[in-house]
């Protein structure tokens, strides 16, 4: 069993059944168990349709569990909360607000005076290398820049947990790599607890302390890999590191086996 004494997120025997018009009752998740410790960076890896987003939305409180339980800091999840900041693939920015206004939105909502909200938003924009773009509107930005704004906007709420659903999935390889590095830089600073969904094996290994591999639908946890690689992670060094390569190859093999079992 895992050590759950400092568990930030505890998912126990969780299942999810969707009622659908076409398929009737559809079991999306079956007996999922996982634990994320405070400050840990954990990735969930699995094929399309295995229930990764469903699992993340349930931790976020946007979707209800059908069975089992999810607790955050020991308390059952009953809905969304400011302690859990979502960062999704579709950037969800307000198109009519500037970059700065988008990032200020959360702090203003939380009652911070305008001057302080502005200062906070500017600091976060500097952190994601967008200081020069504060007056731009989302439509004037590239995908990578929009995703940076979305990250800054979520960080502005000071969540202790980041819930990230394939946040870099829509980006080109170069931008994706840069954003991975930036995310790790930010994470190194304040060690938020991160639950990161991806279907990229390399992304999961590069970023994470632990990788949960899910089986195809109905999703359950197939295997857990503790990624024992030094931090800060430097891609150019890791690519040559035998241990990094071994993790990537072992996980790729496991996922290939799963694909074959489906045929």
Instruction: Please report whether residue 154 would count as binding Mg ion according to CB under 5 A.
Output: no
Side-chain-facing half-sphere of 172: CA atoms under 13 Å: 5
Nearer to ligand ADP by Cβ, of 39 and 80: the residue is: 80
Burial class for 3, CB neighbours closer than 10 Å (0-12, 13-18, 19+): exposed
Binding of ligand ADP at residue 50 (CB under 6 A)? Answer: yes
Alpha-carbon span 73 to 51, nearest angstrom: 23
Sole window of 42-50, 121-129, 182-190, 203-211 interacting with ligand ADP (rule: CB under 6 A): 42-50
Q: Binding segment for ligand ADP among 52-60, 147-155, 171-179, 229-237 (CB under 6 A)?
A: 52-60
- Say how far apart CA 101 and CA 153 lie, in whole Å: 9
Q: Is the CA virtual torsion 231, 236, 238, 241 positive or negative? A: negative
Contact (CB, 8 A) for 53 and 197: yes
Binding partner of 153, given Mg ion, ligand ADP, none, CB within 5-8 angstroms per partner class = none
Does residue 167 touch ligand ADP according to CB under 6 A?
no
Q: Is 51 in the site for ligand ADP (CB under 6 A)?
A: yes
Closest CB 79 distance from ligand ADP, rounded Å: 17
Asked if 53 touches Mg ion (CB under 5 A), the answer is yes
Q: Is 64 in the site for ligand ADP (CB under 6 A)?
A: no
What are the contacts of 199-202 at 24+ separation with CB within 8 A? 199/45, 199/46, 199/47, 199/48, 199/52, 199/166, 199/169, 200/45, 201/45, 201/248, 201/251, 201/252, 201/255, 202/248
Per rule CB under 6 A, count of chain residues that contact ligand ADP:
13
Nearer to Mg ion, 53 or 180 (CB): 53
- In the complex with ligand ADP, the residue whose CB is nearer, 102 or 147, is 147
Q: Which residues bind ligand ADP (CB under 6 A)?
A: 18, 20, 26, 28, 46, 48-54, 217
Q: Which residues bind Mg ion (CB under 5 A)?
A: 53
């Amino acid at each position: 069993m895992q050590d759950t004494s400092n568990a930030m997120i505890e998912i126990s025997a969780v299942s999810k059944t969707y009622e659908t018009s076409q398929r009737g009752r559809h079991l999306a998740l079956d007996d999922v168990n996982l634990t994320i410790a405070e400050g840990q960076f954990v990735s969930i890896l699995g094929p399309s349709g295995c229930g990764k987003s469903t699992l993340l939305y349930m931790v976020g409180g946007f979707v209800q569990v059908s069975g089992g339980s999810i607790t955050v800091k020991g308390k059952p999840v009953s809905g969304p909360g400011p302690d859990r900041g979502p960062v999704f693939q579709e950037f969800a920015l307000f198109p009519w607000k500037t970059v700065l206004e988008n990032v200020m939105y959360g702090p203003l909502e939380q009652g911070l005076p305008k001057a302080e909200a502005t200062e906070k938003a500017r600091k976060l924009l500097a952190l994601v290398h967008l200081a020069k773009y504060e007056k731009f509107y989302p439509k004037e930005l590239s995908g990578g820049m929009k995703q940076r704004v979305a990250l800054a906007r979520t960080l502005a709420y000071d969540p202790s947990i980041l819930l990230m659903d394939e946040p870099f999935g829509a980006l080109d390889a170069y931008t994706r790599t840069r954003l991975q590095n930036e995310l790790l830089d930010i994470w190194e600073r304040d060690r938020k607890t991160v639950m990161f969904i991806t279907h990229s094996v390399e992304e999961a290994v590069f970023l994470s302390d632990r990788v949960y591999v899910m089986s195809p639908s109905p999703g359950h946890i197939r295997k857990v890999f503790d990624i024992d690689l030094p931090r800060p992670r430097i891609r150019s060094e890791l690519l040559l590191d035998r241990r990094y390569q071994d993790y990537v190859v072992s996980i790729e093999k496991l996922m290939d086996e799963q694909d074959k079992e489906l045929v």
